[in-house]
Structure 1
């Protein structure tokens, strides 16, 4: 608790009350401190829960990295390291007004003294974290006693008129003042950064974190209420004791009025101790972030080494101390302090998100001793309120936080990503949820056991062999489902100025290519023959009808026929030439874009039965309709299905396990024998084609045609063109309604 209170009680209470008073233009600064403490409570509960489940050095970095993945973990780790270093540097030079208050002549030596203090605290933290903690406990004890003395001594001198409106929610600038003092509570979760060195973290950390927040909030509210009540801040500004923005030794001025010389000396000493406490706690916590990141492979391994003599991460502490010293010498600390609050808000938002990631990710190893109350409403409140306050910090602070975030992202992609393959619990959970949703859709479709009617659309350009193959496949698909098949021949005719009536599709005799189109005889509908009989050589089935349509636009006629007759599938010859003519209006493109039902594009390479059918997914999960088509063909031919899917060569173990589990569940849904192969490769087309080459039939998904395909690529078409077997490309009935963002997310979750 000493570390958390020491990290919080510092510049916030001794410097910010006057500045926040001017921001809210009145005594509602008291309410601003209270609101800030309340808004941080969700992050404190979230951090407490995760710290009891993962008592590791690193604090919020560890929570975000484990819950949301290494990218956001890197942002949290690098950002916290810099922000704590900035805060430590600010604390060391932030006592200037108080030093000048008692010794105006030493102001010019502030920077050397601050650097010396930075070196001193660095040495203390290198020698032993225990020594640092002991020193922290002593500093915090003195500071609390001094502030308690100020409260008790100042209450009788409060001027009621000066505190009127202290609890006024309608005060202008209240949110801006709340955002300003937010950084005063930044140390609340810092105890978790040294969790690995805490005895019995399951009980100690929640008590210390929540207790320190409650105690500090009460202390802040009481101290600020007394300070505002005993000193006339506008008058002090007019007299030159405070700057025009309220900055200055406001606590010393208040103590001078109510406690006398001795009391003033005590408060000034407490202020200096508080600033030193903030610097010490900030350096202690900041040094643990590179240590924890190195242990996870997100920073060079030298930061992970622990001294045999001191049992502390010497390099991590030394570098952090050096960064603080350099900031004191070279950087405008006052500007850094302003956007430090913005980044701390972002970190608290990420902490709340991380807890949601762990809870929803259903990680077996996640077993906290303490659990946050009111989940997920507590975390949702923390996220929403954090975003609201973030809008009040101002443009420059927000830009500073954005810059640090951008630097962290660049560092992740340049250094971290090539060295780690982990992913967060949230992403694993999302991937599982995506897989479970796809499994449910597949199960529902297979359980329907409904009939499927198919329109086999042929044109003047369709070769007889391809027409026969499409009919064979249509028979296999509809055989077990009892659906009807219509073979429609759509003949193109020249444009006509006048027409005698609507387009008709009369029945015709089966063409010669259809007589023995399937390995088992095809039944021909009696009414389709002019003699009213059954085609010689046909079997007992009578589910195929032949029709002919003369039309100026075969594509439109196919779509209109399928719509009117409520077909479930349209089967077409795949026309490769359309792929490379973005602006040409072809039959495939028109039907794919406008079809009211599923579309099957057939690439004919001499299909005459199958022993193995490869079912490949180019992106995301398997569409249920594609699986149904492959399953029915396999059931009719007696073939075995092979499910093919790729993951990156550097995919995490979690990703591979989730995808394999998804495949195992799919195999239980299918009604035929099925194998599964999850391929680790960065070239999806090459990997899939290598394993699909031995199959007798490939079933995959249609791709974008025209300009969209030219821009976004057509891996499905490249896959079909790279194998020698026949192929069926499936566009499900709802494919056209899937958004680009939705497809990209699913693809990212499962394939890339």
Structure 2
């Protein structure tokens, strides 16, 4: 059985990943340090650096659409120029990402230090102040590094909602800063714009290059991008343009509002500018507006820099793992922790090197060395694209082709070499050293372990055993047959899986079609999907064997597959949409009301699924004599519940019972309406049907008592509205919790999503 890698990253995700990796040190740390090199012309340095990145970004986009494999630039260089250059690229990218993470950690601590060095805060209450002390900047950076290392070791998953909040808050604060300060830009601050000459501009360009290192980070997850032919190149270019514009605007404002001597050389330029512009302002009660403004800027800086540092540890640790898997590095780096599913050795080593850098290097040294390694990798990327194009390989057919080939790539190579020669001796020797070490290491350690060449062999395996969806769709023509998708999580037991398949089997017996049983493995962001897909565990073998055993005695077609993703709920919905599923039948554990506040995966699936959805709670009973359908006069859910109940009852030789709860004081006219409604539903069924109207002032209590004789219960469900459902719990949730029978929570794709008033009205009208 093969494992499919889920493509669930759209254009917005590509832009977010790329921009999120770029916005950080480029604005919060480097403008002051770079101004010491170039003076006011530091603005040009940021623009030139962005232009130098374009050839590599375009090359990455083309290579990513031709080979949408996890691994990104390392994979492209290793496949194009051969494993020796791949070793250099892998080591160089590893070092660059560690340096970038170190720069974010170390530089971010200067902002904390700046806040704590402000004068004692005096608030509205006279005589009340707050004096704070902190350890050294390096000690703070090391402390934060230890926390982030632990986060990555244990595979703590970053949630998209939290990341979105962080980005929105950061951009809002930066926008407020620009709006409040751009009117105070003074032309006199731009006098002597070219005073430092072209050498100063080039030196500053080399320094700020690391600001754009994130533009190609998304290539490392190229295999996870949906429609890469469009989303990868468009996302890379849009993120690069937007970030370059943001950098140029913010640096223009910084230079225009802060005198050169005050800005030059400072590691916290945004905080310095904010304190200078707003430091003397106060608001109601004597609260210092300047202090609050500085705190807001520091918050934005920490959000950006700590996020960058965490991403640096996460992505950097993938490179020794990838090198090890390709037999180019020590085997111990391939170790995946059995409990946390994270590359423990790779993360620990990466974290240790980052701590060493933070403890020993200065900000400008870290930035320049990171820029040198970045340019080296970009040179190799451009060279790899030329290698693929000139070899005229039959399989090389990218969806996007770089305009201006080969001149764009030649410009990237020559400009990269030129910029490296303009750096200090330390960066030049560092670049030469990594090249020499890479070649020596490859010949001494790796050459005897591999048998492949660049852009020539071994690439056919790229498609072998992948994309369960595409394989089955090629073999089986889509028609009107009914298809049930059963997504299985790793923690689902054999008995639970069997119960789901046995529930789906009667539906397929009635409608014809097939069941797809797909196990969705969710791995931490720290682990590349390709790595997880290649690892065949005992659980994988057991899953395949037990489904095969179950299929042998079922008289319906059952197909089995497995998908690896970083987000199971997206993977389930994407699979259902691609495969044309008519029904998703999944297990759902009873969740607490507090879980509603943080958002349930089941709600997200209901909202985004292209088909009907049924969630099953509680254990399956061995025999089924009665299937109960709790009706609610829903024009969409009730017919679906009746259809499913009738199909199951027909095959299982059971009866169906409709139940509806009314208040004890309900008028006879309402009872007649309900009975008429049940008669209409009865006409749709092929099995014996009973009708029960439950009179009770407590609907849940009355229904739970009436359902004691039933073996399966079907209820309607709707999307939970976080806060309203936290206060007024859905009746279906309360009823499911009150009974012991297996419960099928049914949601038709035609059902409209209720407003935020829905749980309140449900509680008032039906209880």
**Which bracket does the TM-score occupy, shorter chain normalised?**
0.5 to 0.7
Give the aligned partner of residue 365 of structure 2.
Answer: 335
Is the contact made by 1:86 and 1:333 (CA closer than 8 Å) also made in structure 2?
no
Task: Output the CA distance in 1 between the equivalents of 2:80 and 2:189.
Answer: 47
Is the contact made by 1:3 and 1:281 (CA closer than 8 Å) also made in structure 2?
no
Q: 2:203 aligns with which of 159, 162, 176?
A: 176
Give the aligned partner of residue 142 of structure 1.
Answer: 169
Q: 1:266 aligns with which of 271, 276, 296?
A: 296
Task: Output the CA distance in 1 between the equivalents of 2:397 and 2:454.
Answer: 16
Task: Output the CA distance in 2 between the equivalents of 1:19 and 1:294.
Answer: 37
- Say which SS state the counterpart of residue 425 (structure 1) adopts: coil
Q: Is 1:283–2:313 an aligned residue pair?
A: yes
Q: Is 1:60–2:90 an aligned residue pair?
A: no
Is the contact made by 1:31 and 1:168 (CA closer than 8 Å) also made in structure 2?
no
Give the aligned partner of residue 16 of structure 2.
Answer: 2
Q: CA deviation at 1:155?
A: 1.0
Q: Is 1:372–2:372 an aligned residue pair?
A: no
Distance change in 2, residues 1:329/1:172 (3 Å): closer
Q: Is 1:22–2:42 an aligned residue pair?
A: no
Give the aligned partner of residue 268 of structure 2.
Answer: 249
Matching of residues 640-679 of structure 1 within 5 Å:
none
Task: Output the CA distance in 2 between the equivalents of 1:73 and 1:135.
Answer: 35
Distance change in 2, residues 1:183/1:309 (3 Å): same
Is the contact made by 2:207 and 2:367 (CA closer than 8 Å) also made in structure 1?
no
Q: Is 1:405–2:424 an aligned residue pair?
A: no
Give the aligned partner of residue 697 of structure 1.
Answer: none
Q: Deviations over 1:227-258 (max 9, x none)?
A: 00011122x2xxxxx6xx62332211112233
Distance change in 2, residues 1:223/1:409 (3 Å): same
Instruction: Give the unaligned 5+ runs of structure 2.
Output: 1-14, 118-131, 279-289, 459-767
- Say which SS state the counterpart of residue 131 (structure 1) adopts: coil
Matching of residues 560-599 of structure 1 within 5 Å:
none
Larger RCO: 1 or 2 (CA < 8 Å, sep 6+): 2
Task: Output the CA distance in 2 between the equivalents of 1:382 and 1:134.
Answer: 37
- Say which SS state the counterpart of residue 173 (structure 1) adopts: helix
Give the aligned partner of residue 82 of structure 1.
Answer: 95
Is the contact made by 1:57 and 1:289 (CA closer than 8 Å) also made in structure 2?
no
Q: 1:383 aligns with which of 413, 416, 435?
A: 413
Distance change in 2, residues 1:56/1:7 (3 Å): same
Q: CA deviation at 1:295?
A: 2.5
Q: Deviations over 1:404-447 (max 9, x none)?
A: 2222222211211111121212899xxxxxxxxxxxxxxxxxxx
Task: Output the CA distance in 1 between the equivalents of 2:232 and 2:206.
Answer: 26
Matching of residues 163-202 of structure 1 within 5 Å:
163=190, 173-202=200-229
Give the aligned partner of residue 188 of structure 2.
Answer: 161
Task: Output the CA distance in 2 between the equivalents of 1:194 and 1:324.
Answer: 23
Q: CA deviation at 1:398?
A: 0.9
Q: 1:117 aligns with which of 119, 144, 148?
A: 144
Is the contact made by 1:83 and 1:343 (CA closer than 8 Å) also made in structure 2?
yes
Q: CA deviation at 1:107?
A: 5.1
Distance change in 2, residues 1:34/1:409 (3 Å): same
Distance change in 2, residues 1:423/1:121 (3 Å): same
Task: Output the CA distance in 2 between the equivalents of 1:299 and 1:129.
Answer: 26
Is the contact made by 1:62 and 1:73 (CA closer than 8 Å) also made in structure 2?
yes
Matching of residues 401-550 of structure 1 within 5 Å:
401-425=431-455
- TM-score (norm: length of structure 2): 0.51
Q: CA deviation at 1:261?
A: 3.0
Q: 1:298 aligns with which of 320, 328, 348?
A: 328
Q: Deviations over 1:451-496 (max 9, x none)?
A: xxxxxxxxxxxxxxxxxxxxxxxxxxxxxxxxxxxxxxxxxxxxxx
Distance change in 2, residues 1:294/1:134 (3 Å): farther
Give the aligned partner of residue 32 of structure 1.
Answer: 45
Distance change in 2, residues 1:64/1:165 (3 Å): farther
Task: Output the CA distance in 2 between the equivalents of 1:332 and 1:71.
Answer: 32
Give the aligned partner of residue 11 of structure 1.
Answer: 25
Instruction: Give the unaligned 5+ runs of structure 1.
Output: 237-241, 429-752
Q: CA deviation at 1:336?
A: 3.7
Distance change in 2, residues 1:333/1:217 (3 Å): closer
- Say which SS state the counterpart of residue 97 (structure 1) adopts: helix
Q: Deviations over 1:57-99 (max 9, x none)?
A: 3221111111111111100101111221122122211123212
- Say which SS state the counterpart of residue 94 (structure 1) adopts: helix
Is the contact made by 2:79 and 2:455 (CA closer than 8 Å) also made in structure 1?
yes
Distance change in 2, residues 1:133/1:298 (3 Å): farther
RMSD between superposed Cα atoms in Å: 2.9
Give the aligned partner of residue 50 of structure 1.
Answer: 63
Aligned residues: 420
Give the aligned partner of residue 621 of structure 2.
Answer: none
Q: CA deviation at 1:308?
A: 6.2
- Say which SS state the counterpart of residue 88 (structure 2) adopts: helix
Q: 191-200 or 172-181: which moved more?
A: 191-200
Give the aligned partner of residue 657 of structure 1.
Answer: none
Task: Output the CA distance in 2 between the equivalents of 1:52 and 1:142.
Answer: 33
Q: CA deviation at 1:331?
A: 5.5
Is the contact made by 2:99 and 2:369 (CA closer than 8 Å) also made in structure 1?
no
Q: Deviations over 1:367-414 (max 9, x none)?
A: 222221211111111112112211211111111222222222222112
Q: Is 1:316–2:346 an aligned residue pair?
A: yes
Is the contact made by 2:113 and 2:137 (CA closer than 8 Å) also made in structure 1?
no
Task: Output the CA distance in 1 between the equivalents of 2:383 and 2:392.
Answer: 15
Is the contact made by 2:115 and 2:294 (CA closer than 8 Å) also made in structure 1?
no
- Say which SS state the counterpart of residue 400 (structure 2) adopts: coil
Q: CA deviation at 1:40?
A: 0.7
Is the contact made by 1:194 and 1:288 (CA closer than 8 Å) also made in structure 2?
no
Q: CA deviation at 1:341?
A: 1.4
Q: CA deviation at 1:35?
A: 0.9
Is the contact made by 1:360 and 1:426 (CA closer than 8 Å) also made in structure 2?
no
Is the contact made by 1:3 and 1:137 (CA closer than 8 Å) also made in structure 2?
no
- Say which SS state the counterpart of residue 27 (structure 1) adopts: helix
Task: Output the CA distance in 1 between the equivalents of 2:296 and 2:341.
Answer: 36
Is the contact made by 1:6 and 1:281 (CA closer than 8 Å) also made in structure 2?
no
- Say which SS state the counterpart of residue 155 (structure 1) adopts: helix
- Say which SS state the counterpart of residue 365 (structure 1) adopts: coil
Q: CA deviation at 1:348?
A: 0.9
Q: CA deviation at 1:358?
A: 0.9
Distance change in 2, residues 1:133/1:79 (3 Å): farther
Distance change in 2, residues 1:113/1:23 (3 Å): closer
